[in-house]
Amino acid sequence: MSFTFLENKRFESRVPQEDVSLAEIVFGYLIGPSLAYLLITALAGNYLIQFYTDVLGVSGTLISIMPFIAKIFAAFTNILIGKLIDKTSSTQGKARPWIFVSGLALSISGILLYAVPKASLSLQLIWIVFSYNLFFAGANNVYLLSHTLMLPRSTRNSKKRDTLSLLKNVSESMIPGTLSAVIMPVLVKSFGVGRLAQSKWFSFMLAISVLAIPGCLLEYYFTRERVDVEKKEEVYSFKKQFADCLHYKPWVYVITLFVIKTIDSHIFNATVIYFCNWVLSNSVAEGSTRQVLFNVLGQFPLGPGLFLLMPILKKHDKKKVMTIGFALSALASVFVFMNAHDFKLVLAGTFVKSIGGIATFLSVSLLSDVLDGFERKFNYRCDTFSITCTTLIALLGSGVAQSLLLFGINTYGYVAPQSAAEVIVQNEAIRTFFNFTMNGIPVIGYAISVILLIKLSKTSS
């Protein structure tokens, strides 16, 4: 695709500098993506499943397997969109034109997720399946692919990419995470659950959805693809790129790392609401209060941790930093899993786990370094293909996590509350399920990640 309408001067980047500028960092990698990710985190993250189960009261086999089946469909559209981006020829680059069109698409599809009509169960299920696929297979795919592709195409300077990678994760995790982890539990407690609360949920999500438009415009105007303009690259088929990538061990190790950490992260995020409500508490009202404290401690290390990480990276290799961080998180996850019913110990373990988890923010920068190495070996870049793989992993990981959670809810006798204040003592089986998915699975994920990083370090050496 050519996007010829973007050749007008009014659509040119506002950061013409050859090096990464301050305006680019602030508006293109921090504020702009933060607004878009507010929508993705609040609308399509943890609270969508709670909206389905606790507000609409939808349950059954279909709703349990729907997220995973939908993500398989989204995987196909992800590959198709990735190929379109790879073949995009525009004066504004490959990725930025798609960021430009993402804002409106995210807003409309985000609104439809929560505009479920008050009708029969059959009609509601049809609406849920349609809106879910429209968001995840369409708008969300376009934005995540183009947004993630910007980092490896922004600069070849590895240290600059480390900085951008950290800020990128602030915009994707820390700022939207504050809304999702600290503010949303308070709002959910205020909105309540049950069918009478649906209009309050919709009104809030409508307001959040609109933010994607200015967010994507800021990211579009205050970013620049510098790697793309260095030379005219031949576009190879995804089949050839895949074959070459499989013969490059660093790429295999890093992509496997993405698979493990993405599935691990999605399962943790999907379960945290239920863990706070029904393992640490016995009601939505009490659980929401505890979730705020839980998430505050989980988010707090991210701010100072990012600033501490920057000078550390100047002296130490990022692979070593990530290995130590993941090992620390694995040990902390074991501690939380073994003490899941003691709120104070859970908070202490979560704090330590979050310190180690800061290293996850370096993942895209690590992949960018590997892509540079791939280019040196094969004499072409596989950026778009690789980012397509990472977003494909994210899509399927999200589907696996949501389907696993809904399967457990339907299998182990979960009792949905009719109001936020209703006290329910869930059975031991469902409480154990919530504890294992949120704390047990991450232990396995972090341990495998440490092994992969050690292998990557040896290969690089």
The whole-number average pLDDT for the span 260-288 is 89
Concatenating the DSSP letter of every residue in 178-241 gives: HIIIIIHHHHHHHH-SSGGGHHHHHHHHHHHHHTHHHHHHHHHHT----GGGSS------HHHH
Tens-place pLDDT, residues 354-365: 888 888 888 888
Helix (H) or strand (E) holding 84: helix 61-86
pLDDT at residue number 181: 66
Most confident of 241-250, 312-321, 400-409: 241-250
Q: What long-range pairs does 124-132 form, CB within 8 A, spacing at least 24? A: 124/56, 124/58, 125/58, 125/62, 125/63, 128/52, 128/58, 128/63, 128/66, 129/66, 129/70, 132/66, 132/67, 132/70
* Cα distance between residue 104 and residue 82, in whole Å: 19
Which CATH fold topology does 20-217+236-460 show? Answer: Growth Hormone; Chain: A; (1.20.1250)
Secondary structure (DSSP) of 1-53: ---GGGGSGGGS-S---SS--HHIIIIIIIIHHHHHHHHHHHHHSHHHHHIII
- CA atoms in the 13 A half-sphere facing the CB of 297: 15
For residue 341, what are its two tokens? 């019913």
Query: What does the pLDDT read at residue 256?
Result: 95
Could you say which DSSP state residue 316 is in? S
**415 is written with which tokens?**
């009792």
pLDDT of residue 233: 58
Tens-place pLDDT, residues 132-172: 889 988 998 899 889 988 888 888 887 787 778 777 777 77
pLDDT of residue 302: 66
User: How far lies 183's CA from each of 46, 267, 291, 390, in Å?
Assistant: 13, 21, 10, 29
Nearest to 142 by CA among 109, 184, 175: 109
Spell out the domain ranges in the chain.
Answer: 20-217+236-460
In this model, does residue 234 exceed pLDDT 80?
no
DSSP tag of 304: H
Measured distance CA(358)–CA(74) in Å, rounded = 29
Higher pLDDT, 344 or 402: 344
pLDDT surpassing 80 at residue 67: no
* 345: its two tokens: 């110990």
Half-sphere exposure of 359 (CA within 13 A, CB side): 28
Is pLDDT of 288 > 90?
A: no
- What's the pLDDT score for residue 255? 95
How high is the pLDDT of residue 92?
Answer: 86
* 428-457: pLDDT as tens digits: 999 999 999 999 999 999 999 999 999 999
Q: What is the pTM of this model?
A: 0.72
Which pLDDT score is estimated for 167?
75
Average pLDDT, the chain: 86
Q: Is the per-residue pLDDT at 231 higher than 60?
A: no
Q: What pLDDT does residue 218 have?
A: 94
Label residues 256-287 b or e (16+ Cβ within 10 Å = b). bbbbbbbbbbbbbbbbbbbbbbbbbbbbbbbb
Mean pLDDT computed over 7-33: 87
* Residue of 302 and 80 predicted with greater confidence: 80
**Among 114-118, 174-178, 210-214, 447-451, whose mean pLDDT is lowest?**
174-178
Q: Which tens digit of pLDDT belongs to each residue from 363-407?
A: 888 998 999 899 999 998 898 899 889 888 887 887 788 888 888
Question: From the CA atom positions of the chain, what is the Rg in Å?
Answer: 22
Please report, for residues 22, 257, 318, the alpha-carbon distance to residue 265 in angstroms, rounded to integers and kept in the order given.
31, 12, 20
For residue 316, which phi and psi values (nearest 5 degrees)? -125, 150
**Euclidean distance between CA atoms 213 and 217, whole angstroms:** 6
The mean pLDDT value for 61-83 works out to: 81
- Rounded percentage of the chain residues whose pLDDT exceeds 90: 34
